[in-house]
Amino acid sequence: MSGRSYLDSGSSSPLHPAAREAFEASLDTFGDPLRLHAEGRNASSAMDESRQVIADALSAQPDEIVLTSGGTESVALALRGVARASGKPGDRIVVSAVEHPSVLGAAACLEADGFQIVVAPVDGFGRLDLDVFVAEVRRPDTLLASVQHSNHEVGTLQPVAEAARLSREAGVLFHTDACQSVGRLGVDPRALAVDLLTLSGHKFGGIGGTGALYVRRGVPVAGCPYGDDRERHRRSGAENVPGIAAMAAALKATQNELADEAARQWSLTRRVRDSVQTGIEGALVHGHPTQRAPHLACFSVPGTDPEALMMALDDRGYSVGIGSFSSGFPHDPSSVLEAMGMPGTFPVRIGVGRDTQDDEIDAFLSALPDLVSELRKMEAASSDALSRQKGTTP
């Protein structure tokens, strides 16, 4: 859409040109990879090539990569797969208080199955309390811990390497949701010492409905869901071969531009944070100022209706994320910010990407203060009118 500025790449990124090219080239690869005829072998070969590309980007081995339908399935396979393969009702699973809904949702399902879910707190920046975390993973019958690499809302980077090391010392398996990090930052599961790692294709320029799970060799993961046995008996359902090829191509392309893009996007989001902090009265900037994903900036603007702000920005050509990123509704407060000590807060999340230009950020930051001021005046007038109406009502 011409004339618009897409500033919601934390939700989904525009298709990378390399992904588009790979997708179109793979559209005739229609065979079932389980079949042994020529078409099936072609599809299987295309998947193997994509798996190798993804493994190379993670400094992993191809047999450690499980191709999935997206980040949510990868998370579910990690948590529920480990629980079904190695756990039993009563075992403990430790998660941070600011995990993505896919992690918290999978944990809730396991809790319904009799597992104990322990939530480790975070500080005001959204950083994991390592003292509480290590005390929890060292307790008997702890099976698994899951701590995201970078927060999906405020962008704060978690001390994953330290948390994973502490978990390994305690004999506890460790999973990290790296959907907001892979394709944005260099992520090496072995260097982090994690056992399982989730990524999502559409977060870094691939096609929606594609993802992968890194499973360290030797880690038992039971298949989920049931059905035909694919991906070494870890999942079922026909693979999206063109989508997988596009995801792999996008990830490979991002590795070639990783450092430059991270620095450029960091500069853009730093400008957003600084401008909002100094230019809008009462605005609050969320997340760690330095230990954060380069592409995300999160803030809140008290005194404005979040839905009205989103619609007003959309009318002016700016696509941003507003409100709860758990429910998707702007009128629901953020559970992440509640865990950070700010209940009832409605955040605005800016997500920049490889296509975001300086002049788009300039225009957004120029328009935002006047728009907020206008909305605040309208809401104040509406509140005054309501108060007067109540005062005259018998």
Q: What is the pLDDT of residues 251-278, one digit of tens each?
A: 999 999 999 999 999 999 999 999 999 9
Q: Give the CB-side neighbour count of residue 8, counting CA atoms within 13 A.
A: 18
DSSP secondary structure letters along 46-84: HHHHHHHHHHHHTT--GGGEEEESSHHHHHHHHHHHHHH
Distances (CA, A) of 184 to 105, 117, 203: 25, 30, 9
Cα 306 to its chain centre, rounded Å, is 22
Residue 226's pLDDT is 67
Burial of 133 (0-12, 13-18, 19+ CB in 10 A): buried
Where are the alpha helices (H) located in the chain, listed in sequence order? 17-25, 38-57, 71-86, 101-112, 130-137, 160-169, 189-192, 241-256, 258-279, 306-315, 335-339, 358-392
Residue 184's pLDDT is 97
Tell me which fold the domain 5-10+258-392 belongs to.
Aspartate Aminotransferase, domain 1 (3.90.1150)
Between 188-197, 267-276, 384-393, the lowest mean confidence (pLDDT) is in 384-393
Label residue 327 by pLDDT band (50, 70, 90): low
Backbone angles phi, psi at 70, to 5 degrees: 150, 180
Label residue 380 by pLDDT band (50, 70, 90): confident
Label residue 329 by pLDDT band (50, 70, 90): low
Instruction: Output the average pLDDT for the chain.
Output: 93
Is pLDDT at 381 greater than 90 in this prediction? no
Tell me which fold the domain 17-256 belongs to.
Aspartate Aminotransferase; domain 2 (3.40.640)
Residue 16's pLDDT is 97
Kindly report the pTM of this predicted structure.
0.94
Q: What is the pLDDT of residues 149-165, one digit of tens each?
A: 999 999 999 999 999 99
Domain locations along the chain: 5-10+258-392, 17-256
Q: Say how far apart CA 178 and CA 335 lie, in whole Å.
A: 19
